[in-house]
């Protein structure tokens, strides 16, 4: 396999497609450290990016400073908002930040547009990824609007527990849930009183996973 293709999605590798192979060979390499910005609100989208390693968080920031996580991008993924901006020439509307150290491939707008136009294989990759990510964003908005804080908080805590991650601040959880830190703190205190979690500075430890999982079944806001 060509070195330029290492780490890219399987559906784009070893393609018998002149335009797609030309696209892959044009890649620029991007390396960012954790907590560095990939895109900021108002940036012009001049590159299509495919993530090779690490994780990117995409979030919205309201005028009053409230943050809400829209989605995360893992290896092999691309950003639906970037794709949308490349097609529309709009400015980037959110904030994309490296949650871990990342490695990615970047492709210029010109070659992205030419490859979308001329490669059916690449078009399928772009639009399949776009539609799947858009469906997840809509699901995320429905969850933020119609489900209870307890449900969403329990779901995040179960996920963190499964990843064996206990180091998390109340503010981190507030960003994830799209609510105020004070709201998260209040609900965590309630969970602590019920014996579901133990709280320490910058740390939340799950004590009763079965009960926490049952809390995930109560979706109503």
- Contact in structure between 100 and 29 (CB atoms under 8 Å): no
Distance, in Å, from the CA atom of 21 to the CA atom of 124, rounded to the nearest integer, reads 15
Domain-wise residue ranges, the chain: 3-145, 147-215
Distance, in Å, from the CA atom of 68 to the CA atom of 143, rounded to the nearest integer, reads 12
pTM of the predicted model over 0.85: no
- Per the structure block, which two tokens stand in for 179? 């609510």
Cα–Cα nearest to 72, from 159, 182, 189, 185: 159
Distance, in Å, from the CA atom of 47 to the CA atom of 111, rounded to the nearest integer, reads 9
- Per the structure block, which two tokens stand in for 115? 């490859």
% of the chain at pLDDT higher than 70: 93
Q: Which of 23-27, 55-59, 158-162, 217-221 has the least mean pLDDT?
A: 217-221
**How crowded is residue 196: how many other Cβ atoms within 10 Å of its Cβ?**
20
- Contact in structure between 79 and 96 (CB atoms under 8 Å): yes
CATH number of 147-215: 1.10.10.10
Superfamily covering domain 3-145 = Jelly Rolls (2.60.120.10)
Question: What does residue 102 show for φ and ψ, rounded to 5 degrees?
Answer: -130, 155
pLDDT at 1 over 50: no
pLDDT of residue 174: 87
């Amino acid at each position: 396999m060509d070195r330029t293709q290492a780490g890219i999605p399987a559906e784009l590798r070893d393609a018998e497609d002149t335009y797609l192979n030309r696209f892959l060979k044009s890649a620029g390499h991007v390396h960012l450290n954790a907590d560095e910005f990939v895109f900021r609100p108002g940036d012009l989208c001049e590159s299509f990016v495919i993530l090779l390693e690490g994780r990117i968080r995409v979030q919205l920031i309201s005028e009053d400073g409230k943050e809400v996580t829209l989605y995360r991008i893992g290896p092999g993924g691309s950003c639906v908002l970037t794709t949308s901006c490349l097609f529309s020439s709009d400015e980037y509307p959110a904030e994309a930040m490296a949650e871990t150290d990342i490695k990615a491939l970047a492709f210029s707008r010109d070659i992205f547009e030419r490859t979308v136009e001329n490669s059916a294989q690449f078009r399928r990759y772009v639009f399949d990824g776009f539609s799947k990510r858009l469906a997840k964003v809509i699901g995320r908005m429905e969850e933020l609007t119609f489900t209870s804080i307890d449900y969403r908080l329990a779901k995040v805590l179960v996920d963190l527990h499964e990843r064996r991650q206990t180091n998390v601040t109340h503010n981190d959880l507030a960003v994830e849930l799209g609510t105020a830190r004070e709201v998260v703190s209040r609900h965590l205190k309630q969970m602590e009183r019920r014996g579901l979690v133990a709280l320490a500075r910058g740390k939340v430890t799950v004590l009763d996973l079965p009960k926490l999982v049952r809390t995930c079944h109560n979706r109503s806001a």
